Structure 1
Amino acid sequence: MADQKKNVTGPDERLSYEQARAELASVVERLEAGGTSLEESLALWERGERLAEVCQHWLDGARERIDAARQARESA
């Protein structure tokens, strides 16, 4: 599964998990509310996809740290 991890690069990589999640929630809220043009909706969708990748990157990193800590504890 680690081989499938996407490389998150650019300004978004500096967002914390909490920042990315909060902005993603805002994007979803705006999309669900409707009333935006097709172009704006597409831009919001694309932003949401990038934010979801940032969140997944953080979650994958946390999982790796947990797994490493468990392995270290079991090895000791």
Structure 2
Amino acid sequence: MPEPIDAMSFEDALSELERIVRGLEGGQMKLEDAISAYERGAALRRHCDAKLGEAEMRVRAIVQNDDGTTGTEPLADTGESGR
């Protein structure tokens, strides 16, 4: 049974997504297998997008303090929604 997507790191999800794409591009899968692979690939893509969004928010929160050190500050609502 495949690993639950929610438990996957970005790197693991991306690696599996790349394997799925190669398999679909190869054109050798049975129709039902291809549909299942496509569905999992779509879920993996959403997971990767979410992980990238989280990372982007963390990077945006990093600030340089007056003394030259870096720290973080709470994120303000930027009004941006979704991707």
Q: TM-score, normalised by structure 1?
A: 0.75
Task: Tell me how large the CA RMSD over aligned residues is.
Answer: 1.3
The structure 2 residue matched to 1:59, chosen from 16, 39, 52, is 52
Residue in 2 aligned with 1:42? 35
Greater fraction of residues in helix: 1
Q: Which runs of 4+ in 1 moved over 4 A?
A: none
Unaligned runs of 5+ in 2: 67-83
Deviations along 1:34-72, one digit per CA (max 9) or x if unpaired, are 1111111100100100110111111000000011114xx
Greater fraction of residues in strand: 2
Q: TM-score, normalised by structure 2?
A: 0.70
Structure showing greater radius of gyration is 2
Identity %: 33
